[in-house]
Amino acid sequence: MLTLLFDGIAYGMLLFILALGLAVTMGLMHFVNLAHGAFAMAGGYITVLLMQRLDVPFLVCLPLAFAGPALLGGVLERTLYRPLYRKPHLDQVLFSIGLVFIAVAGADYFAGSTQQIMQLPEWLKGRTEWGSGAFMLGMGHYRLFIIALCAALTVGLQYLLARTRWGSRLRAAVDDQRVAAGLGIDVNLVFLSTFAIGSGLAGLGGALGAEMLGLDPSFPLKFMIHFLIVVAVGGTSSITGPLLAALLLGIADVAGKYYIPKLGAFIVYSLMIVILLWRPQGLFVRQGGRK
């Protein structure tokens, strides 16, 4: 029971970190970026390849898995994404599907189509158990590590958004671009940095998730749907919405696959449809928010 809950939370936290960048582009910049998973895949591949080929320690790989996709995201935002902010959603969908296809083919070309195996360092491999019977709580150390790291990131991001100057600029730019620009905020720069951070987080999530989710060239297509669900269900007006949605979906998915394995991902998809029909703007949306 508790073990399931624990695994669900770990999975949910991971989903949250993966989807957060998407929540920002989609919710704040109103850009339907289906290519988000490609950045996550980039982070995953950076980590796995560095560890396999160059024996770089896991903890050194993580910052690199953040920096690589962040840089990539920044460059792409400046060159390709920015002209598309004002285009119709259909164009954005097509464009980002195109990017996903390129990324899938590229990963296949450079790293091969096989599943990449992630070798965890020794100190993350163990498992601790508490209690007994129905209340037995078994915690894999790696999952504990993910929960701790993601929780720290969440708190840090919340601080960044709510307390810093950059955060208030972002919120201003999102609420009304023209007024924000009029107040002397460099909206382009704010969006660029936001996009880069979002892509970086996706990369970090991809690196952390390579062990749990698996990593192969079809990763962006396979998990695109999960990120989208988190964002669509959580709503995009705050980061608490996607967080709660990710936890809910993570737990529902793990529990569903354990108790009713025959239905598999069916539970999560149906849950999403029901939630979206009930509240089309997402579950946790600030009432009276714009749009």
Q: For binding to other proteins (CB under 8 A), which residues are involved?
A: 26, 32, 80, 83-84, 87, 89-95, 97-106, 108-109, 113, 221, 225, 228-229, 232, 262-266, 269-270, 272-273, 276-277, 280-281, 291
Shortest Cβ 14–other proteins spacing (Å): 20
For 158, 242, 275, the CA distances from 18, given in Å and listed in that order, are: 16, 11, 21
Shortest Cβ 240–other proteins spacing (Å): 19
Q: Which is nearer to other proteins, 22 or 51 (CB)?
A: 22
Q: Which is nearer to other proteins, 184 or 288 (CB)?
A: 288
Nearest C-alpha neighbor of 1 from the set 126, 124, 131: 131
Q: Which is nearer to other proteins, 105 or 148 (CB)?
A: 105
Q: Which is nearer to other proteins, 162 or 265 (CB)?
A: 265
For 6, 96, 157, 270, the CA distances from 234, given in Å and listed in that order, are: 21, 22, 17, 15
Q: Which is nearer to other proteins, 182 or 280 (CB)?
A: 280
Shortest Cβ 266–other proteins spacing (Å): 4
Q: Which is nearer to other proteins, 99 or 208 (CB)?
A: 99
Nearest C-alpha neighbor of 233 from the set 243, 224, 223: 243
Shortest Cβ 290–other proteins spacing (Å): 12
Shortest Cβ 267–other proteins spacing (Å): 9
Shortest Cβ 103–other proteins spacing (Å): 8
Say if strands 137-140 and 127-130 run parallel, antiparallel, or are unpaired: antiparallel
Shortest Cβ 37–other proteins spacing (Å): 12
d(CA 93, CA 98): 9
Q: Which is nearer to other proteins, 168 or 270 (CB)?
A: 270
